[in-house]
Amino acid sequence: MNDPPAGKANEMDSKEQLDPGSRSVLITGAAGEIGHGLIKGLRVHDDIRIVATDLKDLPEDTRDLCDEVHVGDVCDMGLMQQLIAMHEVTDLYHLAALLSTRAEHVPEVAHEVNVGGTFNLLKLCASHSASWGRPVRFILPSTIAVYGMADLAQKASMGAVSEGDCNTPRTMYGCNKLYCEHLGRYYARHYRSLAEDRGTATIDFRCLRLPGIIAAETKPTGGTSDFVPEMLHAAASGTPYTCFVREDARIPWMTMPECIEAMLQIGRVDENRLQNSVYNVSSFSASAGEVAEMVRSSFPGAEIEFTPDVDRQAIVDSWPADVDTSTARADWGFTPRWGLEEAFAEYIVPSIRTHYAQA
């Protein structure tokens, strides 16, 4: 999966060498859950220019934090070319994608958006890196859906999987993301390796394999890890919830603040510290039943029942129970902030209560 680093042919090795005032960040899929947190996290740095794009307009609270917002399709190569060129993009957070559940309903559309959109952006960033003589930094969220456990016995025996283990995804989304990881690594390290005019500046590609994400301020749509955030939001808003997986369904998780922190950290770290282009990140492993217990003790009266959907359950069963994050810890200092109990006490319960009190 991961190659050793390329020969550092890029003319500028790290963003730290760029004039900080010149950073110009393009975010695709900016109206989604991660976009919401990322824009807020990036805005803390006033010297960053934020350009956001999505098929739909952004909510007002994040739109106001962007320098520009463009409503448009990530597959529209003309629009993407215009945005990258016009804003002299230094960093691209490419978040636009159809998640695993949505993608299983329309797999060909998912391929077009998830692979086609990424491929177009990689090509554009490669050509701009070459013509500007500096690498465009390309940050891609990937997923635990790239893993495929053969059965529950393998899932139990594997425990925390490393990046190179079980790369046999079950879903279209997982296949798309795994291929895009490879494409990104190719464009960063081997692009046009036999062409005489290949130039020296290639893209700087960085990718995080995200676990299930739990956010207090936003609700996910279209994912198969949605059962935990849905359970929480239902409890906090006093609505009964029927969970679509078994109580023993276990995958790795992290909270949205930790996810954003990891995205910002991988976006900032000096390229020389990165031995790999793709890193697992996660904070804890928990089953749906363990989370339900935490929800019931935090929101007495929460009504949660389990009625597994065979097909969505099969997707979750194919995902690992946990991921090994040791390479992220060693290379760029990834440090999860919370375990399950701390996440509930310090972030989930207080933030979700505030969210619904204000709603």
Residues that bind ligand SER (CB under 6 A): 99-100, 143-145, 173, 210, 212, 223-225
Q: Closer to ligand SER at the Cβ: 26 or 145? A: 145
Q: How far apart are CA 140 and CA 161, in angstroms?
A: 20
Q: Closer to ligand SER at the Cβ: 70 or 170? A: 170
Give residue 177's region: left, alpha or beta (phi > 0; psi -120 to 50). alpha
Q: Closer to ligand SER at the Cβ: 158 or 228? A: 228
H helix intervals, 6-116: 33-43, 60-63, 77-86, 100-105, 107-110
Give the residue among 265, 327, 273 at the shortest CA–CA distance from 13.
273
Q: Closer to ligand SER at the Cβ: 224 or 327? A: 224
Residues 169, 148 contacting (CB under 8 angstroms):
yes
Residue 275 CB, shortest distance to ligand SER, in Å, is 24
Sign of the Cα torsion 9, 10, 14, 16 reads positive
Sign of the Cα torsion 184, 187, 189, 190 reads positive
Residue 225 CB, shortest distance to ligand SER, in Å, is 4
Q: How far apart are CA 316 and CA 318, in angstroms?
A: 5
Residue 297 CB, shortest distance to ligand SER, in Å, is 25
CA angle 41, 256, 270 (to 5 degrees): 55
Residue 292 CB, shortest distance to ligand SER, in Å, is 18
Residue 165 CB, shortest distance to ligand SER, in Å, is 16
Position with the least CB separation from ligand SER? 223
Q: Closer to ligand SER at the Cβ: 94 or 189? A: 94
Q: Closer to ligand SER at the Cβ: 80 or 291? A: 291
Could you tell me how many helices (H) and strands (E) the chain has, helices first? Answer: 15, 14
Residue 296 CB, shortest distance to ligand SER, in Å, is 23
